[in-house]
Chains A and B, each alone.
Chain A
Amino acid sequence: MSSLSAANSRGTSGPTAEALSLEGVRKTFGSTIAVQDLDLEAQAGELVALLGPSGCGKTTTLRMVAGFEMPDAGSIRIGETEVTHLPSHKRNLGMVFQNYSLFPHRNVAENIAFGLRMAGVGRAERENRVAEMLDLVRLPGRGDMYPAQLSGGQQQRVALARSLVVNPKVLLLDEPLGALDKSLRESMQFEIRGMQQRLGITTLLVTHDQEEALSMADKVAVMSNGRILQIGQPNDIYDRPTSRFVAEFLGTSNIFEGKASADGKQLILSGRGGDIAVPLERQVQPSGSLMLSVRPERMRLGPDQGSGVNFEARIIGAVFRGNYAAYQLDVPALGRELFVYRQADGPLGAVSFRLGDVLKLGWAPEDAVPVSP
């Protein structure tokens, strides 16, 4: 059949993973710049997450890859093929929407078979493939049900099956777990990630949920104001944020703003009682303005002084979060508050510190990361 021609491998089986690359992509709506000069590369089989607050341009980027929006400049390629101006239906993509967007007038099997039917796959093969997919997403025998009869998680899995059955070259996930409750979200994260890795399909995930991005992606790209601020492996980007925005958007951060000392080996903070020098891990440009980020879980808190930086601090807020405790501390020397997380590791039922406790707070120089403002 013509559907099996080289021009359209849709509906055929076999590995179809291809790299996705965006180069200098730009999109404006009226006078608003939604995406500016964006470069992004997802290797074949990789899951890349676009992470950012709403309005940062991540959804517009996804919609340009999908072909729902045309970029004003730049190019989008899937494998060797330039698709920048190709209509959506010729791009060989799969997509899962936040609200799943299952066709309400068609049953589960018809929903899943839709893409195959569009590709001209015959009825017998269609039925086989649909049954296969229903098994894969653990919904065997549910083909006759209508979307409205399924739970949110089940609809999600049908949407996934519908997008994967056509062996898309790239899978697009638009806030795929946004509508699920927390416990289901976690198990779906594993399920989608597992399936994506098994099928080795190149995937672009858009989310505003940092936990989702960190736990599912090979690479996370943090976006703000239409640009990618930082891109890298989840642990890299979390531990070594290069900008204040990334440090604060991805998790929580204590930011210290000051000046580098004349020898470039210390950060000079202006405290309540005068300047305070904080040792740095690495020498920096002398006398320049400097910003440091220290994660709350990297802060040291206890009755005794440790190596590196030390301050006296009083607990003014304590929140129990199950696996860890979050403390808000007042540091008189700095005239400001800091946040510290402590892993729950004492005896069961015990509380490490109480409100009003005066303790020593500090961090090792290697746990403080210089960030740009």
Chain B
Amino acid sequence: MTIEFTAPKAKPAALLRPWALVVPAVLFLLVFFVVPLVENGLRSVVNDAGGFTLSRYGQLLTDSFYLRVTAETVLLSAGVTLISIVIGYPVAYFLVRRSGRWAGLIIFLLIAPLLTSIIMRTFGWQVLFARRGLVNNVLVDQLGLIDAPLRFSNSPEIAVAALVHVLVPFMVLSIATVLQSIDLRLEESAKILGAGRFRTFWEVTLPLSLDGVGTGAILVFMIANGSFVTLVLLGGGLQTLPLMIYQQFNTTRDFGMASAMSTILLVIAVVCLFLQLRLVRRRGS
């Protein structure tokens, strides 16, 4: 270590240096994110006697029940993502290309549902599809199409529908941002070279908007993966990791198992994020 006898000139005070600006955020994340995450990870590998164990992961990765739960979680998220793409892409396309001066209104309508709490929206779905809810009332009493109310609630389809409802705006906005940035002259180039409307879309617009689809997909997938409230209220017999974690904490009080499950959930999310980054980077080169 050297000792400086002359004070260095023009060196700003520590508080003003650029890196000092991120200190509060880093401290916050350290205390409320990194420490709990590490603690959570430790808890999953420490047995009741205080020793090291991987038995919980062993159980999670081999037991057919837990494997089915993990698979169901991933399948649900993938399904929700897929449906969100199918619904969201046309909306995004319309928003960017056709809506003209209505664009502002459409964006407001897209975002407006996000202003109400997710619990309210989920209850809304419950009210709609309850045994004596709006849908059954219309079907049975008003239209007389069926004799007895359908058992909608507690069927997984409603949970999927509610998740899609919550998550589609993320998909639309991700895709719309990228669609917006596509130079229309690229599409005109394709047309003048003999591509009709559909081929122009297929050859130019769609490939160039895949980044937006990717971003939206990862967003929707990860949120769906960790979704809890919707599934608790409308779950319809679905068993997913977040629900199991809740059970472990509240019912079984097996904190170690809950920690191991959340690690699995985290790994799934990180792998997805990594895949998406790889995809974007490869295409961007």
Contact = CB atoms under 8 A, between A and B. Distances in A.
B282 to A, nearest CB: 11
B183 interface: yes
A63 to B, nearest CB: 9
Given A103-B204, A104-B208, A118-B199, A87 B191 contact: yes
A89 B192 contact: yes
A103 B186 contact: yes
A286 B185 CA distance: 54
Nearest to B191: A88
B195 A118 contact: yes
A101 interface: yes
Contacts of A363: none
B63 to A, nearest CB: 45
Given A68-B188, A97-B189, A105-B283, A89 B208 contact: no
B140 interface: no
Given A103-B204, A118-B199, A162 B193 contact: yes
Contacts of B203: 103, 114
Contacts of A163: 192-193
A151 B189 CA distance: 20
Contact of A99 (B185, B190, B192): B185
A95 interface: yes
Interface in B195-218: 195-196, 199-200, 203-204, 207-208
Contacts of A90: 194
User: Size class of B's contact patch?
Assistant: 10 to 19
Nearest to B183: A101
A93 interface: yes
A368 B204 CA distance: 55
B5 to A, nearest CB: 54
Interface residues of A, number: 27
A10 interface: yes
Contact of A101 (B189, B194, B195, B196): B189
Nearest to A115: B193
A114 B191 contact: no
Interface string A164-195: 00100000100000000000000000000000
A201 interface: no
B183 A99 contact: yes
A103 B195 CA distance: 13
Contacts of A102: 189
B196 A66 contact: no
Contacts of B196: 87, 89
A119 B188 contact: no
A105 B207 CA distance: 8
Contacts of B194: 10, 89-90, 115, 118-119, 166
A236 B1 CA distance: 84
B188 A101 contact: yes
A101 B185 contact: yes
Contact of B192 (A93, A104, A119): A93
Contacts of A234: none
B180 to A, nearest CB: 16
B186 A166 contact: no
Contacts of A166: 193-194
A105 B200 CA distance: 14
Nearest to B195: A118
Interface of B: 183, 185-186, 188-196, 199-200, 203-204, 207-208, 283
Given A89-B196, A101-B185, 4 more contacts: A89-B200, A101-B183, A101-B186, A166-B193
14 contacts: A66-B188, A67-B192, A87-B191, A88-B191, A89-B191, A89-B200, A90-B194, A101-B183, A101-B189, A104-B208, A105-B207, A114-B203, A115-B193, A118-B190
